[in-house]
Amino acid sequence: MADFRDVLALAALPAGKVVTVTLDGHVIGLALLDGMPRAFQSLCPHDKASLKDGRVEGCEVHCPRHFARFDLGTGRVSAGWRVNDLKLYPARIAGDRVEVDAEAVRQNPPDGAKKVWDFT
Ligand code: FES
């Protein structure tokens, strides 16, 4: 069952930008697609760059590190990349606020940060 939670003022989500919010301890990316909010994992599935530093063009978010592109409508990665698609979460506008489905995030949590070996 959906559990939509208030995460951000709609006015704080400018077109062409990615904004991150924390929901139940998970960092979620938000961007506008045709005026509607899209919620997705905030770290790139390729090498875990923060998509917060990326840009949104058309229906895609562009990763700032190696420039893979992910469709914000489907999560699909651009051609030529052998990485997982971007995890998407239901989001909606409620008045002048953005809400994200926390239950969907719990069911399919975003990928964590890149694991780095620690030999100490
Ligand atoms: S980290 Fe995003 S394309 Fe490599």
Q: Structurally, how many domains does the chain consist of?
A: 1
In this structure, is residue 8 part of a structural domain? yes
Residue 46's pLDDT is 95
* Burial (CB count <10 Å: 0-12, 13-18, 19+), residue 20: middle
Domain residues for 20? 4-107
Q: Is the CB of 61 under 6 A from ligand 1?
A: no
Ligand 1: distance of its center to the CA of 112 in Å? Answer: 14
Distance CA 89, CA 39 (A): 5
Residue 116's pLDDT is 73
In this structure, is residue 24 part of a structural domain? yes
Ligand 1: distance of its center to the CA of 32 in Å? Answer: 21
In this structure, is residue 91 part of a structural domain? yes
In this structure, is residue 113 part of a structural domain? no
Query: What rounded mean pLDDT belongs to the chain?
Result: 94
Q: What is the pLDDT of residues 90-110, one digit of tens each?
A: 999 999 999 999 999 999 999
Q: What is the pLDDT of residues 2-29, one digit of tens each?
A: 999 999 999 999 999 999 999 999 999 9
Q: What is the pLDDT of residues 62-91, one digit of tens each?
A: 999 999 999 999 999 999 999 999 999 999
DSSP state of 108: S
Ligand 1: distance of its center to the CA of 49 in Å? Answer: 6
Residue nearest to atom 4 of ligand 1 (CA): 66
Residue 112's pLDDT is 79
For residue 18, what is the domain's CATH number? 2.102.10.10
In this structure, is residue 112 part of a structural domain? no
In this structure, is residue 116 part of a structural domain? no
13 in helix, strand or coil? coil
In this structure, is residue 117 part of a structural domain? no
Q: What percent of the chain has pLDDT over 90?
A: 92
In this structure, is residue 10 part of a structural domain? yes
Q: Which string of DSSP letters, residue by residue, matches 26-88?
A: EEEEEEEETTEEEEEESB-TTT--BGGGSEEETTEEEPTTT--EEETTT-PBPTT--SPPPPE
Q: Is the CB of 53 under 6 A from ligand 1?
A: no
Residue 114's pLDDT is 74
Given the DSSP bridges, would you call strands 69-71 and 36-41 parallel, antiparallel or unpaired?
unpaired
